[in-house]
Structure 1
């Protein structure tokens, strides 16, 4: 599969970016993955996306390791490493560091009509007011809310070890650089009303959101 690796900064953190051409993917490319047998029954798109994400993670890990697949489908990072990865369209991103919360997500900006159609499953009335007042176009603001929640859940999962729905966190503020998300219920060891900051960046028709502690 044809890929290109580059890096970029977000919130002072280095993220690794892979742009890839899914049309050039072949099953033989998966043999590079130690866990390729676990993808034998996956569809072509799933295989290409997974491979691109693991290539991004490989670069984030200084080309020393490839995360395996956990029991909940999460990437298994080497001991002592906190990491996160995401893929959307022809883009995959990954980040890792030695410790702390880390969660990244990339999403193609959702078309406004689709965003309006699905918004009730992602944001509540209070969040809709925040999005309406943030000064960003609704399609962009909604995609950021969607993506930031995904980043937050990825960051919390290693400690929470449980599925989290979109209603588990609420967007309470949004501006040109960050979003604030607040937990709507306890997610031990994290408390109800605990707040997290998501940093975001737009690149053409895609956004990347990042949750990380200091």
Structure 2
């Protein structure tokens, strides 16, 4: 599969980025993954996305390790390392650090008509008002809310070990390069009303959201 590798900084953290052409993917490419047999039943798109994400993670881990697949589909990072992977379209990103919370998500900006159709499953009326008050275009603001919740849930999953719906956290602030999410219910060991700050950036028609916390 044809790929290109680059990095960029988000809130001072290095994000590892793979741009890939899924049309060039072949089954033989998967043999690079130690866990390739676990993907035998996956579709072609899933395989290409997964491979691109693991290549990004490989670079994030100083080219020393490839995260496996956990029982819930989560990446398995080396001991003492927290990390996160995301992919969308022809982009994959990964980041890792020593312990602490880390979650990253990349999303193509959702067109406003689609955002309006699905918004009730992602944000509540209070959040909708906040997005409008941010003065960001609705498609961008909504995509940021969607992506930020994905990033947060990825960061919390290693400790929560449970599925978290979009109503588990609420956007309570949205600024030019960061936003705040507040838990609407307890997610042990995290308490209801616990607040998390995430950072975001836009690259062309994509947004990337990131949480890196103690």
**TM-score under structure 1 normalisation?**
0.99
1:63-114 per-residue CA deviation (whole Å, 9 max, x = no partner) reads: 0000000000000001110000100000000000111000000000001000
Corresponding residue for residue 209 of structure 2: 209
Corresponding residue for residue 183 of structure 2: 183
Secondary structure at 1:153 match in 2: helix
Corresponding residue for residue 112 of structure 1: 112
Corresponding residue for residue 89 of structure 2: 89
Structure 2 unmatched ranges of 5 or more: none
Corresponding residue for residue 131 of structure 1: 131
Runs of 4+ with >6 A deviation: none
Does residue 163 in structure 1 map to residue 172 in structure 2? no
User: For residues 153 and 41 of structure 1, what CA distance do their matches in structure 2 show?
Assistant: 26
Cα RMSD of the aligned pairs, angstroms, is 0.5
Alignment size in residue pairs: 214
User: For residues 78 and 129 of structure 1, what CA distance do their matches in structure 2 show?
Assistant: 42
- How far is the alpha carbon of 1:175 from its aligned partner? 1.0
Corresponding residue for residue 27 of structure 1: 27
Corresponding residue for residue 40 of structure 1: 40
Corresponding residue for residue 74 of structure 1: 74
- How far is the alpha carbon of 1:213 from its aligned partner? 1.0
- How far is the alpha carbon of 1:51 from its aligned partner? 0.2
**TM-score under structure 2 normalisation?**
0.99
- How far is the alpha carbon of 1:144 from its aligned partner? 0.2
User: For residues 50 and 213 of structure 2, what CA distance do their matches in structure 1 show?
Assistant: 26
User: For residues 68 and 183 of structure 1, what CA distance do their matches in structure 2 show?
Assistant: 29
User: For residues 60 and 21 of structure 2, what CA distance do their matches in structure 1 show?
Assistant: 20
User: For residues 39 and 190 of structure 2, what CA distance do their matches in structure 1 show?
Assistant: 33
1:14-71 per-residue CA deviation (whole Å, 9 max, x = no partner) reads: 0100000000000000000000001111110000000000000000000000000000
Secondary structure at 2:62 match in 1: coil
Secondary structure at 2:78 match in 1: coil
Secondary structure at 1:163 match in 2: coil
